Structure 1
Amino acid sequence: ETWYWKATDAGHTDAMTNLGLLLANIGRTNEAETWYRKAADAGQIDAMHNLGLLLANIGRTNEAETWYRKAIDAGHTDAMYSLGLLLANTGRTNEAETWYRKATDTGQINAMHGLGLLLANTGRTNEAETWYRKATDGGSSGAMNNLALLLQNTGRETEAQPWYERAANAGDANAMNNLGALLQNTGRET
């Protein structure tokens, strides 16, 4: 922390961002916000995104959206996913889908998974399956679990099991639980 403070005194915007992250991680949210704002106002795009994340986490979604959009305008591709997630969580699914799709164009695995969730929740299971599979190719254990759920819910339990197993082996607790339930429900308890 000491060295970040010294670097911030010299106007180093990366240090301001890193100090903000350190402060956020130890629960000093107000101070983190101050340093993220200083760095973001100076044009540091990671600080813009981090400020959006912090604001979203404390329920200031309108401000978070503003900072995500500023980060996107400055070229921060992960902010596209974050904006999509925020929009999805606030019921703006059409806008969320747009931003998820833009983020997937950059290869963002979380956006692929998020798009799959959004599509599944709006009844577009075939397209959801496609996006879950793309996210699993990138190693997303959450997408593996959700793909398995989708397969199971569409009567394809045999196809679901290996996806639960892959996700469970990657440490996904939801998949472990779902695999146990699948095995129990199909009489294959282990």
Structure 2
Amino acid sequence: MRKAAEVREATGRTDETVVGWEQGGAVGEELAWQEAAAPFARHGQCWEQPRFAYLGDPQTLRERAEQCERDRDVAGALHWYREAAGAGSEAALFQAADMLERNGDRVRAVHWYELAARRGDVYAMRELGRLLADLGRTRESAAWHRVAVRAGGRPELPEPVRVVEPLDRRPAPAAEAVATRPAGQSAPADAALLAAAVELLKDGGRYFEADLLLRSANRPEPEQLREASRMLYDSVTSDGAIEWVQRFADTGDRQAVREAAEMLENRGRTEEALDWYARAAADGDRDALVAAARMLADRRQVQHALDWYRRAAEAGVQTAEREASMFRQQVDAAEERALRRRREREQRALAAAPTEVGGVPGGPVPGR
């Protein structure tokens, strides 16, 4: 198959090349789906790539890993994060480490944080130092903190074994507002929201982010809140964090609307995520319609996904019709394969059934 594919591609028959590999994938040939997308990538036609195929593009690989992670397929996610790292994505190493730690596998998380740190990821160096301290490996922790300081040029953080106590002693922004406001004046709502974000970050073990937020008191509160929302979106996926982002969205921050939708999706709260994607679209984020369609497509809610793709196309999203068409092709191909397998099973069952002779299975032939 490979030689024939190479000949077809060399003569400019890219579509035939892809079809050949897809046929190989349909019968279980190893790596066929990956090979199916490669001709499009080589000819710069990345938009033609089927959603199930593999481009060798780091971002595509990371997206595939993230989908596995949302599906709670840790082994699959780890495989695709490894592929993305091999294709040049340093962020994939950090994401793999973070996923492993959140799933309780701190030993392997150390290994992946170290891989990211050795590629120069300063944040991975800090997280590695924190996790090593949690595991009682204090000297290694301190060493990685020193490396992080030299690499990142930021003030050295306290050693993780001592960071919690001083951070917990520091007053939250709301408390500072209470201490400094004139008598009879209530604390600003923004300060209370900021204080809640700090506590959520600390509850999620994200002391580095909480400390950064507390150190940003000289910045305008809208900027602090935007940064708090980004921190919660990136590192804390608890229900409390989602509620905080939703509250912030209610103050008028449009980006927080999309963040809330994606956080809900990651928690598997599909119907609520759809409501927030719709709200984001109503606020002018047309791409939220496509994001909702992809979420439904990943969950194999075929007609529902196509409805959202249609809404996206009607809203003027240029890629929506193409993605919908590719998704329909993928679904049709899967249904055709399932039908073919069912027919093959039925044929095998018929072939294995005893032959009826004279109306009685296996009976004597009349007249003998």
TM-score, scaled to structure 1? 0.56
- Correspondence for 2:171: 148
Q: CA separation of 1:73/1:174 partners in 2, compared to 1, >3 Å: closer, same or farther?
A: closer
Pairwise mapping of residues 14-25 of structure 1 onto structure 2 (< 5 A)? 14-25=59-70
- Correspondence for 1:28: 73
- Correspondence for 1:69: 114
- Matching of residue 44 in structure 1 with residue 68 in structure 2: no
Q: How many residues align?
A: 141
Higher helix share: 1
- Matching of residue 118 in structure 1 with residue 161 in structure 2: yes
- How far apart in 1 are the matches of 2:169 and 2:149? 18
Pairwise mapping of residues 158-177 of structure 1 onto structure 2 (< 5 A)? 161-162=175-176, 168-172=192-196
Contact 1:72–1:79, Cα closer than 8 Å, also in 2: yes
- How far apart in 2 are the matches of 1:5 and 1:55? 29
- Correspondence for 1:86: 131
CA-to-partner distance for each residue in 1:62-112, whole Å, 9 max, x for gaps? 322222122112121111122112112212233223323443552679x84
Contact 1:8–1:15, Cα closer than 8 Å, also in 2: no
- How far apart in 2 are the matches of 1:163 and 1:97? 35
Contact 1:7–1:15, Cα closer than 8 Å, also in 2: no
- How far apart in 1 are the matches of 2:72 and 2:139? 34
Greater C-alpha Rg: 2
CA RMSD of aligned residues (A): 3.8
SS of 2:136's partner is coil
TM-score, scaled to structure 2? 0.32
Runs of 5+ unmatched residues, structure 2: 1-46, 180-189, 201-368
- Correspondence for 1:135: none
Which of the pair has the greater relative contact order for Cα pairs under 8 Å at 6+ separation?
1
CA-to-partner distance for each residue in 1:4-58, whole Å, 9 max, x for gaps? 9748622112211122123323433232112112112334211111111122222
Runs of 5+ unmatched residues, structure 1: 129-142, 150-159, 177-190
SS of 1:22's partner is helix
Contact 2:134–2:161, Cα closer than 8 Å, also in 1: no
Q: What is the percent sequence identity of the aligned residues?
A: 26
Q: CA separation of 1:163/1:83 partners in 2, compared to 1, >3 Å: closer, same or farther?
A: farther
Contact 2:57–2:87, Cα closer than 8 Å, also in 1: no
